[in-house]
A and B are shown apart, each in its own frame.
Chain A
Amino acid sequence: NAGVMQNPRHLVRRRGQEARLRCSPMKGHSHVYWYRQLPEEGLKFMVYLQKENIIDESGMPKERFSAEFPKEGPSILRIQQVVRGDSAAYFCASSPVGGLTTGNTIYFGEGSWLTVV
């Protein structure tokens, strides 16, 4: 859904560098999710954030990965000291609320492709 904006669409980093992926949720959405898709695999949940809060980071690797969703500005997924295994598509998604509401659907951005060389 074009309403969730991710940038950059493509990012190339050398091993050891840092990667920063940005996500602006749909207007009126206060919940953001990050997913990772490795080649030929499904989407794996990484982290769920609300404004200024991390709600669920059970899918985040313990080291090098961090995420934030500040009061102002986009959500950021940060990968420090990237390795070749970090090469993947990273999808951001947003929803208006986290629980049950009418039309409660998660909408995805177009993804950011990280290549580590």
Chain B
Amino acid sequence: AQTVTQSQPEMSVQEAETVTLSCTYDTSESDYYLFWYKQPPSRQMILVIRQEAYKQQNATENRFSVNFQKAAKSFSLKISDSQLGDAAMYFCAYRSYTGANSKLTFGKGITLSVRP
């Protein structure tokens, strides 16, 4: 079974600065998806960014980018130019390619606070 580990329970960043959130995972599969989801105080789950394991290029979405290290099974999220609205819980998630096992497996999450 796949596992996702987010070892940092909390992080803080100054507004306009850059912060990196760590995530590692364990799998025996070679093809899979990785995701970062954001959960603000409203509790809605919002997709931030997605990475396909077969792609070597790191995904980027505006101020959000990932550092995907497949051999190390590491998938960190970098938030540049942090904004107050970035304050939320962030969850790293893994999804298998295979249809019968395509559920998302989440890490425990990290609470990000942004200091004005």
On A, residues with C-beta under 8 Å from B are: 1, 31, 33, 35, 37, 41-45, 48, 55-56, 59, 89, 91, 93, 95, 97-100, 104-108, 110-111, 113
Contacts and interface: CB of A to CB of B under 8 A. Distances in A.
A93 B35 CA distance: 14
B85 interface: no
B109 A33 contact: no
Contacts of B105: 45
Give the size category of B's interface with A. 20 to 34
A42 B107 contact: yes
Question: Dominant SS at the A interface?
Answer: strand
Interface string B79-116: 00000000000010001011111111111110000000
A53 to B, nearest CB: 11
Contacts of B106: 35, 42-44
30 contacts: A31-B102, A33-B103, A33-B104, A42-B106, A42-B108, A43-B91, A43-B104, A43-B106, A45-B104, A48-B103, A56-B101, A59-B103, A89-B43, A98-B99, A98-B102, A99-B98, A99-B99, A99-B102, A105-B35, A105-B50, A106-B95, A106-B104, A108-B37, A108-B45, A110-B42, A110-B43, A110-B44, A111-B43, A111-B44, A111-B45
